[in-house]
Structure 1
Amino acid sequence: MLSVTNLQVFYGTIQALHGISFEVREGEIVTLIGANGAGKSTTLRTISGLIRPKEGKIEFNGQDITRMPAHKIVQMGIAHVPEGRKIFPNLTVRENLLMGAYTRADKAEIAASLENVFARFPRLKEREKQVAGTLSGGEQQMLAMGRGLMCKPKLLILDEPSMGLSPILVEEIFNIIREINRGGTTVLLVEQNAFMALQIASRAYVLETGRIMISGPAYELQADPQVRSAYLGSIGKADKA
């Protein structure tokens, strides 16, 4: 479904990605794990057209999207839920969700998608008319994910969905990600909570300073001594909001 080949990205003279290559197959959850500054978010932003690579190629369902404008990539079926949620705080929950459907024209289909999001996230339905900036951190993350689903993506890209959430909410968010995937949406997940990410992923890639150092089935990486030492030392812990 998604193929990334020899991706090289610079911020000025600083090279952020050093020729990384990976793939995401239809129906999978694939996770990128690594420390801050490893290049995870840069990778996602490049895939979704927010950053232009110096070299490399990105293909989605056989089509080259390397230099395609971001809004066209959304129309292709890729939705990016960014780090920090980036909701519209002065709009209501409903208005935020409808912003996610801006590339769609069929009002009946949009209404059906809205009801599907409310069914998946009942708390958003309860707060449909509430201003989004007044939601809790967990509710804002649900809203960001719901907004991403409103464009009916084939591939949902999630950047640090558990950041700043309590352990109970982290568990809930990961259960929702699993349900979204079971519903037919492929997921590319960037997550510092490596333990939780490896629990739900099919395959994983470990990034260090802009390079892929280890890759393989998620269950193998969970057992890898290097991965366990570097990323799984605080199993089950999460930062409280």
Structure 2
Amino acid sequence: MLLELKDVHVHYGKIEALKGVSLQVDEGEIVSLIGGNGAGKTTTLKTISGLRSCSSGSVFFEGADIGSMPGHRRVLAGIGQAPEGRGIFPGMSVHENLLMGAYARKDDHSKELAEAYELFPRLAERRSQAAGTMSGGEQQMLAIGRALLSKPKVLLLDEPSMGLAPMLVQQIFSIIEEINRRGTTILLVEQNAQQALRLAHRAYVLETGRIVRSAPASELLDDPQVRAAYLGGDVGGGDTGDTAGAEGEAGKVALGKTAPETGKADGEDAPDAE
């Protein structure tokens, strides 16, 4: 077992954001975490990466309890993250942003740098350009490339398709699949639930801070209840750009909801509700 959460509770003041979350990610897998806005998906990733502390419960990585390990040491241990909203350094060049991913490393990172430029040729073309002047899709590529510079064993991806045009969404998911094929385990939080379930090996459904379903992703994709609540009904055909609104207490996951490709995604400036 590469990564495991056991009965994890997390609080924001008196508000309990995670209510006993338990999940497992095996080496080599793509595991997807789906759920409505405010379900606790981003909080789960932040707890794994050390940006949020557990009120109770445990986080294990490669069999060791990392609950008290600071975030920068988790990066060195092999946990990389491309955060929601991308979090690039706008005034720095593309190349400088990528190098920030290797900031804590003391070994040679030239191989990972070359692979990032290979995976994202557009970044190579714009290596001297200020990151803040790039499009939203390019910034998302940069955020993922920067995370890869830390040489992660598991890569945490938080809403990588948010705000991107459909063509770029397909490109990002193809690259995620290639990253996994090259040996990196992936834990994916994604608003495009249909695409996420088609890509993942296994998936968990998170509602109001609790895991309510876990199964092979293909099984959840075909489950009538999951389809009705999270995939907008029929998922057997049609364009993956179709949308389903996020509504109701459980929160229905938007399916491929897109915005014009800009340097900033819709709602990017909104406070983290998870």
With structure 1 as the length reference, what TM-score do the two structures score?
A: 0.97
Q: Which residue of 2 aligns with 1:2?
A: 3
Partners of 2:131 and 2:215 in 1: how far apart? 39
Deviations 1:72-114 (A, max 9, x none): 10010000110000000000000000000011123xx312221
**What are the residue-to-residue correspondences of 1:134-213 with 2, within 5 Å?**
134-213=133-212
| Aligned equivalents of 2:164, 2:192: Cα separation in 1 | 11
Deviation at 1:115, TM superposition (A): 1.1
Whose helix fraction is larger, Structure 1's or Structure 2's? Answer: 1
**In the TM superposition, what whole-angstrom CA distance separates every residue of 1:118-140 from its partner, at most 9, and x where no partner exists?**
01100000000000001100000
Which one-letter code corresponds to 2:159 in the other structure?
E
State the shift of 1:240 in Å: 2.1
- Corresponding residue for 1:45? 46
User: For the Cα contact (< 8 Å) 1:167–1:240, is it kept in 2?
Assistant: no
Matched, 1:101 2:102: yes
Deviation at 1:225, TM superposition (A): 1.2
CA distance in 2, matches of 1:220, 1:112: 38
**Residue in 1 aligned with 2:84?**
83
3-state SS of the aligned residue for 1:6?
A: strand
Residue 210 of structure 1 deviates from its aligned partner by: 0.3
Gaps of 5+ in 1: none
For 2:22, the aligned partner's letter is S
AA partner of residue 240 (structure 1): A
Rounded to whole Å, the distance in 1 between the matches of 2:105 and 2:48 is: 21
Distance between the aligned counterparts of 1:226 and 1:8, measured in 2? 27
Contact 1:137/1:164 (8 A) holds in 2:
yes
Please give the alpha-carbon distance, in whole angstroms, between the structure 2 residues aligned to 1:79 and 1:144: 11
Aligned residues: 239
Gaps spanning 5+ residues in structure 2: where? 242-256, 261-274
Q: Identity, % of aligned pairs?
A: 60
In the alignment, the residues of structure 1 paired with residue 161 and residue 171 of structure 2 have an alpha-carbon distance, to the nearest angstrom, of 9
2:253 aligns with none
For residues 150 and 112 of structure 1, what CA distance do their matches in structure 2 show? Answer: 9
Shift of 1:177: 0.3
Shift of 1:15: 0.5
Say if 2:227 is the partner of 1:240: no
Deviations 1:5-58 (A, max 9, x none): 000001111110000101000000000000000000000000100000100000
Return 225-234 or 9-18, whichever deviates more.
225-234
* Moved beyond 2 Å, runs of 4+: none
Measure, in 1, the Cα distance between the counterparts of 2:46 and 2:141.
Answer: 20
